[in-house]
Amino acid sequence: MDDSLAILATRSERGDIYSDPEARKLASRLDGFPFALATAGAYLSQSKISFGQYLQRYEERWKVMDSMEEPSDRPSRTLYTACDVSFKLIEQENPRAAHLLRFLAYLDHQDIWFELFQGGRPGDTPPPPTWFQQLVGGDDASIFDDTMRVLVCHCLVVEETQQHDEESPSSSSSSSSSSYRLHTCVHDWTLNGLNRIIDTRLYWLAFDLLTSHFTDKEEDCRSIQLSAPRYQHFTGHVLRLAHERFDDALWREEAVMMRTTSMTRLSLFLGGRGHYSPAKRIQRRVLTMKGMTLGTDDPSTLDSQAILGLLYNMEGRLKLAGKLYERVLVGKRGEKAPGVDQSSSIFETLDELGGMYVSEGKLDTAERMFEMAMAEREGMTSGVNDDRWTTTCGGSVCSKLARLYLHQGRVEEAEVMFGRGERSALFKS
């Protein structure tokens, strides 16, 4: 009991409460759970109500939760009730902070900083709500920090000691704010308590916010996973977007179809960091929606299927990847989608298949795939000079085929494939 009262006394800043019977009743009701006691104490530090009045509000929220699908274990329910009581006060006194806290359920529990919220609005996506525009308007982080500190005062958010002004794609602002995080138990409450019914508008707001940081035009959609350091702080947030609770949001056809490129970028980003299951979950949504909207044989749908194959390939599930690639190849060589030149896409698929067969040790099959890819590439570059052909192919299929020949002891064929002037590079590798 004394330890519980000590937490209440420290957080409430109300001095000696050990002889206060109402304080003792509250400490007993909270069952000695430190975080619930700290949250209650923080509430009391921001309010003039007595310990008894707080206990009354707590009991009212506890009864409300009886009619809801809340956690049955007592510690979680105690914490959720204490957080609910604090949220009601925040909602009354600072609605912007309440909106922000609810929104944080759609992001990771850590690496939260002002510049993260400044990503902008990509494409034709809807404008953010007014509270959000007020929160991040301009380059001044003061409103954001002031709002966050309201949540800090209630023990719902923790302010980190270091500033978050590292290598971020969005760190152009001269005013870098502190970094914030939520305790995982509070983060769970923001999703399961404040967002019992998923708000798809908030989900897509978080999605658009994050994807706006991945718009470097110099980076190909397939190679974004290679740009490690400056994107590392986004990994947890992107993983949160793939949470199973958000599946309903990912089934909204219109919302998905206007964001398919961004969704593919994020799926490859996660795949490149070894998070294959969430990466595939996002990419399957893209593939399903394109299939429903455009048709399964549409070139864009086939491209998305090839990306899913690439993710399986990265995961090492080569048989599944191969089946997907082969379906894509059949579709792209079919007579559907007349008037659309599929040469480039067929080349990429054959190239991926060749690499996959090399990984499986099926070198003869890999050779056929690379040779077919070369034939496609030659058709695409007919009429271009040899130098351009060598340059285009040197880092791709020609190089792979040459190394395959070299591995088989077919040195002369490898030399020819590398082209003039490439002999020294061949033997150095």
Which two three-digit tokens encode residue 110?
Answer: 């850590």
- 213 phi and psi angles, rounded to 5 deg: -85, -5
Query: What share of the chain in percent tops pLDDT 70?
Result: 75
User: What residue type is 318 in one-letter code?
Assistant: L
Judge whether 87 and 77 are in contact, CB under 8 Å.
Answer: no
- Select from 345, 352, 343 the least CA-distant residue to 397: 352
Q: Are strands 178-181 and 158-163 parallel, antiparallel or unpaired?
A: antiparallel
Which token pair is 29? 């009701």
Return all residues near 34 (Cβ < 8 A) that are at least 6 apart: 7
Q: What is the mean pLDDT of the chain?
A: 78
How far is it, in rounded angstroms, from Cα 195 to Cα 161?
29
Both structure tokens of 305: 């299927």
Q: What is the pLDDT of residue 195?
A: 93
pLDDT reported for residue 326: 84
Give the sign of the dihedral formed by CA 142, CA 147, CA 152, CA 158.
Answer: negative
For residue 324, which of 309, 304, 302, 346 has the smallest C-alpha distance?
309
How far apart are alpha carbons 122 and 332 in whole angstroms? Answer: 30
Query: For the chain, which domains are there?
Result: 2-93 (no CATH), 219-332 (1.25.40)
Instruction: Tell how strand 158-163 and strand 112-113 pair up.
Output: unpaired
pLDDT along the chain (429 residues), means of 10: 77 77 83 79 83 84 63 69 90 95 96 86 72 85 92 91 53 61 90 90 92 64 54 89 83 82 90 91 91 90 90 87 85 59 63 74 76 65 46 59 77 69 43
Residue 167 neighbours by CB distance under 10 Å: 10
Cα–Cα–Cα angle for 10, 11, 17, rounded to 5 degrees: 55
> Could you report the per-residue pLDDT of 5-60, keeping only the tens digit for each?
888 788 777 777 777 888 888 888 877 777 788 888 888 888 888 888 888 888 88
CA dihedral 116, 119, 120, 126 (to 10 degrees): -70
Record the tokens describing residue 333, joined without a space. 């060589």
Instruction: Tell me the whole-structure pTM to 2 decimals.
Output: 0.75
- Residue keyed to tokens 């000590």: 6
Predicted confidence (pLDDT) per residue in 353-394, tens digit: 777 777 777 787 777 777 777 766 665 555 444 444 444 444
Q: How many residues does the chain have?
A: 429
Backbone dihedral angles phi then psi of residue 181, each to the nearest 5 degrees:
-150, 160
**How large is the greatest C-alpha to C-alpha distance in the chain, in angstroms?**
93
In the DSSP assignment, the letter for residue 124 is T
Which pLDDT tens digit goes with each residue over 390-405? 444 444 677 777 777 7
CA end-to-end span of the chain: 71
CA atoms of 299 and 281, how far apart (whole Å): 21
DSSP helix/strand/coil, 162: strand
Q: Tell me, what's the pLDDT at 172?
A: 45
Measuring CA to CA, how many Å separate 171 from each of 113, 163, 250? 11, 12, 29
- Nearest CA-CA partner of 128 in 89, 96, 90, 164: 96
Q: What is the DSSP letter of 137?
A: -
Please list the alpha-helical segments (H only) found in 247-317.
Answer: 253-257, 260-272, 276-294, 299-315
From CA 147, how far away is CA 158, in angstroms rounded? 13
Measure the CA–CA gap between 305 and 284, rounded to whole angstroms: 8
